[in-house]
Amino acid sequence: MTDVSHGVVVTGAARGIGRAVAELYAERGWRVLSADVNLPPVLRGQRRVKADVSTAAGRERIVRAAREMGGVQVLVNNAAFQGAHGSVLDVSERGWARTLGVNLTAPLLLTRALVDLLPRGAAVVNVASVQGLFAEQGNAAYNASKGGLVNLTRAMALDLAPRGLRVNAVAPGAISTEGVLEAIADSENPEQTRRDYEDLHALRRLGTPQEVAKVVYFLGSDEASFLTGAIVPVDGGMTASFMMAGRPV
Ligand code: NAD
């Protein structure tokens, strides 16, 4: 397959995993539309759009830019709000609504808005989390949003199969994104916190954004042509063991 004429839409592409995904597609010659509430960096061969995926106006901007790009073979629903910490007893209603709106409802509505631009053989890749498979204490909204996205991925796979579309998700472990590295640096004992994060994984290290991007790329490609409705952990073995999964850091 020559990738050169293909187009991909990546949400949340200003930094972290989304940015690594956009960079990988750009490197491999794809036309890339990076969408983010913060304007993404300029990459070669890439268009960018400032858009909040949780609003109808933001999604409309993405659809317009995708149409101008000339077609979409892959949609990567990656944008997420990770800021509403709190347990089931104290998470704010506002934080809950924002988390569900960005992480769960937006992938549904953006996919729906773009579906007529996706030809048979196209693919959607949702970026879920190990926290969609297991829960972390004190992070109820994020856990619920990612658990919802995991099963939404399966629902999308079933409902979009008649259109010849595949839908899969990745469930990353702890990845060395700016956000995770900042959280480690801001903790009381950064060295210990880093080790705690690393020890959640059988491979005893954090993953890199590029390692997640490569799996996203695979799921979106024809190499994965018989794969749909799958949730692929990219977690260094975290969820291979009940001893590691869900252990609070
Ligand atoms: P991040 O917070 O570093 O980046 C997320 C990007 O999404 C940001 O650029 C942000 O501006 C954008 N964004 C947020 N809300 C948006 C909105 N409403 N509309 C458009 N853009 C919006 O995140 P990350 O750590 O790179 O994570 C990327 C994805 O991977 C997320 O879905 C996250 O839940 C998932 N994930 C991350 C990790 C990790 O360890 N970093 C682990 C598991 C899953």
On whether residue 238 sits in a domain, the answer given is: no
On whether residue 88 sits in a domain, the answer given is: yes
pTM over 0.90: yes
Q: Are residues 199 and 225 in the same domain?
A: no
What is the pLDDT averaged over residues 191-211? 96
Q: Are residues 94 and 216 in the same domain?
A: yes
Q: Are residues 135 and 197 in the same domain?
A: no
- Give me the number of domains the chain comprises: 2
The confidence score (pLDDT) of residue 246 equals 66
Q: Are residues 192 and 158 in the same domain?
A: no
Distance 172 CA to ligand 1 centre (A): 12
CB-based pocket (< 6 A), ligand 1: 11-12, 14-18, 36-38, 52-54, 78-82, 102, 127, 129, 172, 174-175, 177-180
What's 149's domain CATH number? 3.40.50.720
The confidence score (pLDDT) of residue 249 equals 59
pLDDT bracket for residue 4 (50, 70, 90): very low
Nearest CA to ligand 1 atom 18: 52
What is the pLDDT averaged over residues 120-129? 98
For 27-65, the DSSP string reads HTT-EEEEEESSPPPP-TTEEEEE--TTSHHHHHHHHHH
The confidence score (pLDDT) of residue 46 equals 87
Nearest CA to ligand 1 atom 33: 80
> If phi over 0 gives left and psi between -120 and 50 gives alpha, with beta otherwise, what is residue 204?
left
Burial class (CB in 10 A: 0-12, 13-18, 19+), 48: buried
**Does position 145 have pLDDT exceeding 50, yes or no?**
yes
The chain-wide mean pLDDT, for the chain, equals: 95
Q: Are residues 75 and 186 in the same domain?
A: no
Residue-range definition of the domain harbouring residue 93:
7-172+209-233
On whether residue 93 sits in a domain, the answer given is: yes
Q: Are residues 71 and 35 in the same domain?
A: yes
